[in-house]
Chains A and B, each alone.
Chain A
Amino acid sequence: MSEKTGKYLYCFIKAGESEDIGEIGPGQGEQPVYTVHHRDMAAVVSDSAEEYYDPVGKNAMCHQNVISAVMAKHEVVPVRFGVICKSMDALNKLLEEIYPAVMTNLERLHNKMEVGLKLFWTRDSFVKEVGESNEEVVALKNKIVELGPDKGYLLMIELGERLQKIADEKRLYYIENIYRGLQKEAVESRLNDIVGERMVLNAAFLVDKAGEEQFDLAVNRFYDIYGRTLEFKYTGPWPPYNFIDVKVD
C-alpha cells in the first residue's frame, strides 16, 4: 500500500523490532496489521482504504481482536475506536509528538490490568427498589393507569422524573458501599456514566497483576451481599482504556 494510504491505529507498545500481528486488519479483518516504530515505541496499525468505520459489532470486534492479539505479548496503550492517520508521513509525525505521553503511560500501567464491573437492577428489583419504592410514585402510577396514556402523559413525565431521582439516590448508596469498598483494593478506579436506567453502577478498576486474586475475592464479597438483587457483570482483563491519559490535538 502507498505512503498515502490511511493508517488505522489500534494501540501503542514498547518495542524495538518490527512485528507482523497477522492479517486481522480493519473492516472485514483481512488486512495485515503491522508496527511502525519511533525510538523504542511502536504504533500497531493497518492500512485502511476506508475513511470511516461505523461503530457496529463487526468493526468493534476487529478493533478489540487486534489489541487482544497484541496484549498476548505486550503491554498496550489502546487508541479509541476509529482513529485513522492520513498517511505514513502523518503517522510518523504523530509518533514523534506522542512518544513521551505514551511512554509515561506505559510505565504507570506496567504490571497492572483493567477490570470492569457493571451492576444492574434485575427487573424485579428495579420495580421494588425504584418503581414502587414509595406510596407517592405508586399513587402516581395508578393515576396514570386511570387516565390512560393520552390524558396522563404529563403525569408520565412527572413520574419519569421522580423515578430518575429515586434511582439516582439508590445508585449513590451502591457507590458508597460497593464502589468505595473496591476502590480500596485497586490502584486506580473510574466511575463511568450510567447507561440506561437499569444500570446501577458502571466502574473500572486498575488492579495490580499480583493482587488479581485478592480483587476477585473482594468482588465476590459484595456479590455475596448484593448478588440476589443486583446482576453483576464482572469482566476483564481489558486494555487499560479507562486509565489512559493521552490526548493529541
Chain B
Amino acid sequence: MKLNSISREKDVTLLELLDLILDKGVVISGDIIISVADVDLVYLGLRVVLASLDKLYPPLDGEV
C-alpha cells in the first residue's frame, strides 16, 4: 500500500509562524530599539506560581 504524496502546505498555522518569528530573523537590540529582547530572569514568589497553576489547572475530578 502506497501513501499519497504530500505537498507543501499553503495554510500557515500559528504554531509554524510563532516558531519562526519569535526568535529567528534579524536581531536588533540597543538604544535605537523600543522593544527589549532576551529578558533576564525575574524573580517572583511561589504564591504567584501556585495561583497561576490553580488558574490553569482546575482541581482534578474527585479532588476538593
Contact = CB atoms under 8 A, between A and B. Distances in A.
When A and B assemble into the complex, do they touch directly, with CB atoms less than 8 Å apart?
Answer: yes
Interface in B19-38: 19-35, 37
Interface residues of B, number: 33
A247 B12 CA distance: 27
Interface residues of A, number: 57
A79 B35 CA distance: 13
B34 A195 contact: no
B18 to A, nearest CB: 6
A178 interface: no
B13 to A, nearest CB: 8
A244 B34 contact: no
Nearest to B11: A235
A79 B12 contact: no
A57 B19 CA distance: 12
Contacts of B16: 116, 118, 233, 235
A248 B27 contact: yes
19 contacts: A61-B17, A80-B23, A80-B37, A86-B33, A93-B32, A94-B28, A98-B28, A115-B8, A195-B19, A202-B19, A233-B16, A234-B8, A234-B9, A236-B8, A237-B8, A242-B24, A247-B26, A248-B27, A248-B29
A220 interface: yes
A80 B60 CA distance: 39
B21 A83 contact: no
Given A195-B15, A247-B27, A223 B6 contact: yes
Contacts of A98: 26, 28
Q: Please name the 6 residue pairs, one residue from A and one from B, whose CB atoms are nearest each other, closest first.
A: A90-B32, A241-B24, A81-B21, A80-B25, A79-B26, A78-B25
Given A9-B26, A78-B21, A247-B28, 20 more contacts: A9-B28, A51-B34, A80-B21, A81-B22, A82-B35, A84-B33, A84-B34, A86-B32, A86-B33, A86-B34, A202-B19, A223-B5, A223-B6, A228-B3, A233-B13, A233-B16, A234-B6, A241-B21, A242-B20, A248-B26
Interface string A56-69: 01001101100000
Contacts of B6: 219-220, 223, 227, 232, 234
Nearest to B9: A235
A192 B32 contact: no
Contacts of B14: 57, 60-61
A247 B29 CA distance: 8
B2 interface: yes
Contacts of B52: none
B8 to A, nearest CB: 5
Contacts of A173: none
A246 interface: yes
A242 B19 CA distance: 10
